[in-house]
Structure 1
Amino acid sequence: MKAGWPLLIVAVGALPMPAAAQFWSRSWAVAPQAASTRDPLPDLKGKTLRQVVRISSGGTRIRLRLSNELSATALKIGSVHVALVDAGGRIVPGSDRAVTFGGVAAPVVPDRAPLVSDAVALRVTPLAHIAVSLYFPDGAADATVHGYAAATAAIASGDQTAAATLTDATPFKQRMIVDGIDVETARPGSTVVAFGDSITDGVRATADADTRWPDDLAAALQKAGRADVGVANLGISGNRVLAEGAGPNALARFDRDVLATPGVSHVIVLEGVNDIGGATRDKTPIPTAADLIGAYRQMIARAHDRHAKMIFATILPYKGAGYWGAEAEGVRKQVNAWILTNHEADGAVDFARAVADPADPDRFAPAYNSGDALHPNDAGFRAMVAAIDLKLLR
């Protein structure tokens, strides 16, 4: 030490202690979408929106993710509350909690941005139902939504976010603003992302019954003792792998909707029927098997960079649906053959075989057909999950 330099003495005991480890993983999700002009948003000025969701994995605390990512204006929120919901749909007494964001109870979500809440001291069990209530003092005319919910929300006048029962409520059939719920666990948890189109989104599933195949997968994982494994449903009805459809194409949204999911460990992809079927309907060039497989390979590369495993599911049969065609059927078979035989992904699930009619495998088995020859019914969703070897998700 040179003469004249001050002596710096550090009192080790005075250093701040490191914060306790926090292991967060996503337990519920929807993919954010821009509001559709075909489905005008309700007037939410001075109103409360309550949405009930069923999470998958449980934890000691929760946090919310609000999305304003597809909105051009900032969103003012007056208050946010969460509460547990019992089997009868009622708020569990004593479970209501106010939610803050950086200590602020009435946050402003910037345009084109998400906002993650502070941790909420609410212990949740696997497969619990949670009510999320938001009050909008100035409305939400340009809200980010998720177009299909398979669940019914409620809208009521005034700030009723802390109310056990909403007064004079009206139903609402989309998801809005809230697009993720994370859980904190004592050891690192993980999340399986279900990524796809309307079949993953749950079109034709029984409403308010949690019967979509990702819902059934969450229940199967819990039954198998995989308590720390959650399932996040990032399906978008009408979505395509390669082209703009409902929402950005799968490659365009993969990083935001999949790789940014806290705790993502596995991705199950079921997507491609809208690419080939839509082209058949629109009389445009049908994507080749090589086109779709090339996109799948892009997903594999990007997921493996984040140490997430990629599992592809075979495209379901859909002969009899309005946009079926012989050329597209040939592409479906080629793509499915690659899914079942490739050595690039981390596994495969033969959903197509699980729901196909043994007498005509290009069609749904009657017991699993929702009626449109394209989407499974509740029994079909259960058959799909029964075809998943849960060992793939380790």
Structure 2
Amino acid sequence: MRNVEAAPRKRNPDSTYFLMDEAALRRRGNLKWSSYGEDVLPAFVAEMDYAVAPAIADALSRIATDQQYGYPTRNGSRTPASVAKLYAERMSRIFDWRPDPENVVVVSDLVQAIFTTVLAFSQEGDGAAIQEPCYPPFREAIVSTGRVFTPVETVDDGNRLSIDFDNLANTIGPQTRLLMLCNPHNPTGGVLDRQDLEKLAELALARDLLIISDEVHCEITFDQFRHIPIASLGEEIARRTITLGSAAKSFNTAGLKCAFVHFGTAELRDRYLKAFPRRVIVPGHAMGIDATIAAWESSHQWQHDVLSYLADMRGLLMQRLKKELPEIRVYAPEGTYMAWLDCSALGLPLPAYDFFLGEAHVVLSAGQTFVTGGEAFARLNFATSETILSEILERMTHAVRTRA
């Protein structure tokens, strides 16, 4: 991840119609805003503190108004097959990648996709290599199913965080079957460029690895950074790539359950469906399918405005940390709405998560859940309002400056 300055930009106040105040957020009753006391500000779980796009709200309202609570229709335009076709069209339009909709399986969410692909394409004792720090369900999917978790180191060269390719090449052994990617990367916010993707592709081909690529944050990038699906690099690498995606992160609909698994070949798809027949794999919920359709067909302005605002919050975060907490080492995220904070230089008496929860009443994601020995690290979600983010940073700064 390159060391890029990020500055807030002037914006039209009318473009912030999606913002929700703290009282409204607490009334939601979701995990993020109800897991801790009312004196605690949450900046952990990966969802936005924003109202969904009007088109999504309207689609969900119609379901409630018409009491569409029975078995959903399995023909017409609101089916797993139709939304798979939309997914393929969107990937082609935005990323110039042309996945085959016949090779898309609609599932409920990304965690289900991670677990099922690990189970379908490896056996107990097989190795799965993945960059650390990593999204915790990756580790859980590997370890809890008897696979061998094979961590790949992240290196900091003073200008960016990146995959240690020498470590990756040395780590892969004869039992390694899977190369698992998260791009844009959670939790560091890095976006792999074409050169790095080509290195990964070459290694996968040379070592006969299957790639499982979580690209759920693909539409959330900043500045000059642009997502490149690894399966778009060429037919040879596409044939050994399984791509995981969803509209959930880009449009703030994680609770509605609709995600996608794209297989580079029909053979990979059939192998997956042999392990998990369609009657076993729960497809996207009717609400999730309708929300996804509304997001992709009718929510372009909302997405534009949200991405612009997120860029501002990213700039605010970087400026405030540089000015008020310069000891925290952090690179401006190239994608996602999470920042990976290295608090080592603060010399905190507790893990960063515990310190900021106890002393600042701010909940971050604990670094040790992303990487072994990561107690000095934390992930901060900046997808909130300027008012709330400013209060979070003020509390963190005050806690550090006044600690005994």
TM-score range, shorter chain: under 0.3
Q: Which has the higher contact order (CA 8 A, sep 6+)?
A: 2
Q: TM-score, normalised by structure 2?
A: 0.27
Give the TM-score taking structure 1 as reference length. Answer: 0.28
Structure number with higher helix proportion: 2
- Structure with greater proportional strand content: 1
